[in-house]
Amino acid sequence: MQNVDRARMAREKSHNSLGGIPLNLPDLHVHDLRYANASLLINAGVPVKFISEHLGHSNTKTTEDIYAHVYNATAEKVASAISQALDGVM
């Protein structure tokens, strides 16, 4: 167990310094970048079919299930925008 902890600490240390100079970078993982990518595409209004293909999901339901909360937040923004637009008309 100690060897695993030492290896993890060495790896983290190597990612957070360059020639001994601290970089102060956030601890990011590939899936963090993947999630950010999907969230940005959803919020930009890209159709789920294209996002699903881009992420390599076998169908759009997978994308919708994983990112449902992002879609819900986007739907709230759309509803708010429609409501504001109609306020001036009605």
pLDDT tens sequence across 42-68:
989 899 999 999 999 999 999 999 998
Domain ranges of the chain: 26-87
Q: Which residue has the tokens 């993890």?
A: 8
Q: How many CA atoms lie within 13 A of 73 on its CB side?
A: 9
Beta bridge partners of 21: 18
Confidence at residue 1, expressed as pLDDT on a 0 to 100 scale: 47
Written as six digits, the tokens of 21 are: 């100079």
Confidence at residue 62, expressed as pLDDT on a 0 to 100 scale: 95
Provide the CA 50 distance to its chain's centre, in angstroms.
16
- Would you say 82 and 53 are in contact if contact means Cβ atoms under 8 Å apart? no
